[in-house]
Amino acid sequence: MANSTLQTSAPKKRSLRFNTDQRALILFFIILGLFLLIWELGVQAKLFLPIMPSASQTLKDFWFWISDPFFDYGPNDKGIGLLLMTSLRRVAIGFLIGSAIAVPLGILLGLSPVAAKAFDPFIQILRPVSPLAWLPLGLALMKDSEKTALFVIAISSIWPTLANTKFGVSNVDPSYLNVARTLGASRWRTIRKVILPAAAPSIVSGLRISFGIAWLVIVAAEILLSGGIGYFVWNEWNNLKISSIITAILIIGLTGLVLDRLFGLLQSWVSFGQRS
């Protein structure tokens, strides 16, 4: 009897358990470690071209760039932080220009089936065009490399916002519109107070995709320009500094991740506001 009492009262051993996020983080570091190891061994075994740096050398160069990101020793010798700020400024301006065109036009197309059918051939023809194809046309039209970069960013980022705005406006619940008409709301007031709030989640979703495309296009657009992260990639390739290019790729990717998360928070806030 005493033995059974001792057995039941003995403390149970607690097993070490990880939640989903912790397991995902551990798996991430395992995959990253294996990738870096294979990369290091591949360079030592000369499986790549001689210009390919090792993982350890790339990490050293990465630390060099991020440890002092805002140095300025002249037009062609700036820190990665200053180059990033230049690119973000260009992307923001080009994105705002594209959004200023896409949102009003999307509202018009969502409200007018005739306008939607009239514009559809233009949209279907222009939407698949590569950003690189717009560069020579932009130079011919703008006669300035800076304005050409903004033109390419703007025209490449228009389409998701345009499509999502049109979809959101055209799919507003008809009962909302009927209530607005019953209350005698004007056309403009109906758009401002009913249609835009109802379509806001779709519009923000389009803006989120468009900003991602704008950030994607910046490397191609900045080939024409001095300064900026895109020009840095092109210049480092001409100097055959692959480790600097990898650093720029990581910076571009991490910046894009942060910006996408910010737009995700805005999208969640808009959707929550609509539900409440």
Per-residue pLDDT for 2 more than 60?
A: no
What confidence score (pLDDT) does residue 10 get?
54
Beta-carbon contacts of 218 under 8 Å, excluding residues fewer than 6 positions away, are 87, 90, 91, 149, 153, 228, 229, 230, 252
Question: Whose CA is closest to 76, among 221, 220, 238?
Answer: 238
Instruction: Pick one of 1.10.730.10, 2.60.40.60, 1.10.3720.10, 3.10.20.30 as the CATH number of 80-275.
Output: 1.10.3720.10
| pLDDT tens digits, one per residue of 79-130 | 899 999 999 999 999 999 999 999 999 999 998 899 999 999 999 999 988 8
Per-residue pLDDT for 211 more than 90?
A: yes
User: Please, what is the angle between helix 145-170 and helix 196-221, to 10°?
Assistant: 150
Q: Is 134 exposed, middle or buried (0-12, 13-18, 19+ CB in 10 A)?
A: buried
Q: Percentage of residues in the chain with pLDDT exceeding 70?
A: 92
Query: Domain-by-domain residue ranges, the chain?
Result: 21-52, 80-275
Which of 138-147, 219-228, 241-250 holds the top average pLDDT? 241-250
